[in-house]
Amino acid sequence: MDDTAAKERTARRPDRILLTLVGVVVLLVVVALAVVFTRGEPAPLDEASPAGVVQRYSKAVVDGDTNTAQSYLTEGAKSRCRGTYSGEPAPARVVLISTTERTDSATVRVSIVRSSQGGPFGPSEYEMEDSFSLLKVNGQWKIDQPPYPLMACTVVPVKQ
Amino acid sequence: MTAPAASAAPAPTSGLATLRRLILYVLLFALVVISASGLQGLLERLFRTASTLVSGDVAGLALSLAFTLIGGPLALLLWWFVWRRLDDESERRAPGWGLYLTGMYTVSLIISTTSLLNLATSFIDSHESQWPSPLANGIVWSAIWWWHRWMWKHPRKPSSHLEDVRAVVGSVFGLLLGAGAAIAALGSLLDVAIRGSAAAATFEPWWFPVLRSVVWAAGGAVVWWWHWFREGGRRFQTGLVDVTIIAVGIFVAGITALGGLGVILFVLLRLAFDRIDPLNDLLEPLAPAIAAAAIGTLVWRYHRMASVSRSTRTRRASLLVTSAVALAAAASGVGVVVNALLAAAVSPLAGGATRTLLLGGLSSLVVGAPVWWLAWKPRHQPRTAEDIPPGRRVYLVAFFGVSAVVALITLLVIGYRLFEFLLGDVTGGSLLDRVRAPLGLLVAAGLVAGYHFALWRHDRKLLAAAAPTHKRIIERVTLVSGYPPGSVDPEALARGIADATGGAKVTTWLRADDGGTGLPPSAALAPGVEEAVRQVAAALEGVTAHQVLVVAGPEDRLEVIPLAAAGGAPVLGGPVPGRVLRP
């Protein structure tokens, strides 16, 4: 009798584990759906700080607004500009890693996530790190050297 | 006892013969390729003469002439020499000839098929047709293919060695070519139907690429049909055919079908909840995905049915592989869902894309999980040791092992990022953003490993409960068989004893004295093999020694002697050789 009960218990154990695992997966999916779909726009940073300038510039680049992006560049950066980065996969997400602020210059390190639709099981993401070099021009932070995937400007023809 | 004849001593020249064949066939292979290349060059030149205005390529012509006029006669001479030797049966059975035939058959099949299909599709083009090169290649290599097939099937000198390899290689090549081209054809057709022909800005009518792919698909299908049905690839009951069915028909086709289904669902979900990109870009992957899902499912279904009609082992393996592919899809989906959840917890500087990521993970999970549920049947797991099929424990250990490796790698990445965060000037948000992908994989790998580890332990308990305690105590059995020849096969008896003792190592000796061989077979009242195994197993019941001597036969004689080490020295596996004939 005891033997049968023990066997029954052993047989039912994986069922309990299975139910727990299914529960965990369902919970993860529900929480992820709730969080992702209620998430608003990224919180804006202070425009007077280097990170705030990088944020506005990056947002304009991701949205494809080259004119706005260009307004955050120094004159030197505009003259060195070689057009807008159009490689694939396009940058989809920019996250701040660190800010180093000096008197007249600053370096903002960011992580750039580029995503493509390829891959057998869902989209693929590629993450890379790079940094912005900023200069203080007339009391305002301007970007002197953006990372190449976030390069955006209109090429001005050289005057003869 | 009639001692079996000692195996024929290898001829002293066998090593030399192998070396001779190796050199001969490598040389023949090279010469055939060289003369084919020369002939192809000359033929191409001939076809081009009508359209050539000025010809100045002396070097190319000289090379073709040299290849043809020197390589060709030498190849024919060598082949004549080889073909004459192939009258000898042993020569035809030598691995060298089988390998040469298979290698050249495969190469010529692939080159001739692709050249002829290239030729056919070169006419479906708005540019001027480039037919001379594929035509020359197609003629030369088709002839070589036909020549080698003639040698393979020759009525007087047939070569059956590696016959299944040739049939399988041909059918796999045809299947991959046909299925790949069919996906491309259906994909382009559906793309025009879904997005309109304006999406593809080209200078040719929209149906040109579709027709080209259809021609390739038809060519692949013919090659597959020829080798699978005409040459009898499906009738070979060899391990290679089983492995091919599982690897190509189930594994590759399963990944294609599930991947396609996942992308279809992903596009539909994006259309409903995430329309940030232009509609044209959103719909771009839909058509190839539908084509991949349709063709992948077709190929998978055919091989699934083919595996059912083969051995039980093949059927079970096909089910396990299907389950593995589906589980990989579902688990990676869970990983991406966790990844998206963590991405949403970080406030980025710009962009987001978490919704796209989440929908990608969800579609993978939603497609993989039901297929896994149907293939693995988690509610109908074995309840007794007898229900545990062979192969299942390998599957469990493999999944547990793979997820453990994934977990280790992701842990290392997470550890690296964590220490970077602790030691350097890095924001907390960026730490979470950079560990979200490995963390998602870690969670998925943890769930998979946990489930399979629990099942593995459960199976082990069932097996341990079913196995009597003494089974693993006996480690070595020395069997002395005295049954007359023809009554009880000593090898079968040894296997039976090994099974009955739970895998003890059995050393078999035959009695060489009159006790075993003096009686003529007809007078012996020996039991059958099953009966003998049953008797020995019953006699071994309760024996607790590590080593046991079993003296079985003639007639119903049976003696089981537990052995112990004498004077602390371990007892060796076999008895002291005395008047025994052979182990």
Lookup result for tokens 């030399």: B16
Interface probe, candidates B283, B332, B349, B384, chain A, greatest A C-beta count within 10 A = B349
B433 near A CB under 8 A: yes
Segment B332-372, tens digit of pLDDT: 999 999 999 988 888 888 877 788 889 999 999 999 999 99
Assign A92 a pLDDT band (cuts: 50, 70, 90): confident
B195 touches B280 (CB < 8 A): yes
Q: Do A13 and B454 touch (CB under 8 A)?
A: yes
- Look at residue B239 and tell me whether its pLDDT is greater than 60: yes
B481 forms beta bridges with B510, B552
Rounded Cα–Cα distance for residues B363 and B360 (Å): 5
Q: Are strands B558-563 and B547-552 parallel, antiparallel or unpaired?
A: antiparallel
Strands (E), A20-123: 91-101, 105-116
- The residue type at A118: G
Percentages helix, strand, coil for chain B (3-state, rounded to 5) are 70, 5, 25
Segment B241-257, tens digit of pLDDT: 888 999 999 999 999 99
Interface of B with A in 233-272 (CB under 8 A): 255, 258-259, 262-263, 266
Rounded Cα–Cα distance for residues B138 and B142 (Å): 6
Of B255, B340, B455, the CB nearest to A120: B255
Assign B135 a pLDDT band (cuts: 50, 70, 90): very high
- According to the model, what pLDDT value does residue B197 have? 66
B333 touches B364 (CB < 8 A): yes
Q: What is the pTM of this model?
A: 0.76
Please work out, in degrees rounded to the nearest 5, the angle formed at the alpha carbon of residue B437 by the alpha carbons of B435 and B442: 90
B404 touches B449 (CB < 8 A): yes
Please work out, in degrees rounded to the nearest 5, the angle formed at the alpha carbon of residue B455 by the alpha carbons of B452 and B457: 110
A110 near B CB under 8 A: yes
Domain A50-150 has CATH 3.10.450.50: yes
Q: Do B451 and A21 touch (CB under 8 A)?
A: yes
Rounded Cα–Cα distance for residues B363 and B569 (Å): 66
* Residue ranges covered by each domain of chain A: 1-40, 50-150
Q: Do B433 and A111 touch (CB under 8 A)?
A: yes
Rounded Cα–Cα distance for residues B139 and B495 (Å): 57
B430 near A CB under 8 A: yes
Q: Do B458 and A51 touch (CB under 8 A)?
A: no
Assign A9 a pLDDT band (cuts: 50, 70, 90): low
Q: Considering only CB atoms, which chain B residues are within 8 Å of A93?
A: 343, 348, 350-353, 433
What lies within 8 Å, CB to CB, of B578 at 6+ separation is none
SS (H, E, C) B344-356: HHCCCCEECCHHH
Interface of A with B in 61-100 (CB under 8 A): 61-62, 91-98, 100
B75 near A CB under 8 A: no
Of A31, A35, A91, the CB nearest to B351: A91
How far B450 CA lies from chain A's nearest CA (Å)? Answer: 9
For residues B561 and A79, which has the higher predicted lDDT (pLDDT)? B561
B341 near A CB under 8 A: yes
Segment B448-460, tens digit of pLDDT: 998 898 888 888 8
- The ipTM of this complex is 0.79
What length is written for chain A? Answer: 160
Interface of A with B in 11-50 (CB under 8 A): 11, 13-15, 17-18, 21, 24-25, 28-29, 31-33, 35-37, 39, 42-43, 45
Segment B362-417, tens digit of pLDDT: 999 999 999 999 998 888 888 888 778 878 888 898 888 999 999 999 999 999 98
